[in-house]
Structure 1
């Protein structure tokens, strides 16, 4: 049932069409593996929105390919990454 709910949220919020594939892969690597995210990707992900970010992470975790991942760790990493994005976007740019 959760899979259908997540699919509906993704569809209603156009989550699948708001972000370029390269940024999706960059964000995926940072959340599900080890990697960093560029400022451009960070901006794209924040524009995507928290609902889309959370739902796409949950939807990915429902995939049998990721059954061996620790769901609690991935969700915590996703939240931490999201908060880091917001801090980066909200921080003032250094003066030139």
Structure 2
């Protein structure tokens, strides 16, 4: 049932096409592997919203290709990535 709900959220809001592929790859690498997301792509992620971010991560975890990953660790990295991006976007840019 959860898989259907995540798919429905993603499709209804057309989330898969609202983020550029380079951004998707960088966000995915940050959450599911090791890395960090750039300021530019943080902006794209935050514009999509937390519901989209969570639905995409949960749907990825439901894929059998990722069955060996620890969901608790991935969810924690997902939340950390979201919070870091949100803080980055909310903080004023230093002037040059």
Asked if these proteins are the same fold (TM beyond 0.5), I'd say yes
Instruction: Name the counterpart of 1:92.
Output: 92
Gaps of 5+ in 2: none
Q: How many residues align?
A: 96
Instruction: Name the counterpart of 2:44.
Output: 44
**CA shift for structure 1 position 95:** 2.0
**CA shift for structure 1 position 64:** 0.3
CA displacement, residues 5-29 of structure 1 (integer Å, 9 cap, x when unaligned): 1100101121111100111000000
Q: Following the alignment from structure 1 to structure 2, what is the Cα–Cα distance between the partners of residues 64 and 28?
A: 16
Gaps of 5+ in 1: none
Residue 67 (structure 2) pairs with residue 72 (structure 1): no
User: What is the CA RMSD across the aligned residues, in angstroms?
Assistant: 0.7
Q: Normalising to structure 2: TM-score of the pair?
A: 0.96
Q: Normalising to structure 1: TM-score of the pair?
A: 0.96
**CA shift for structure 1 position 73:** 0.7
Greater than 2 Å deviation, 4+ residue runs = none
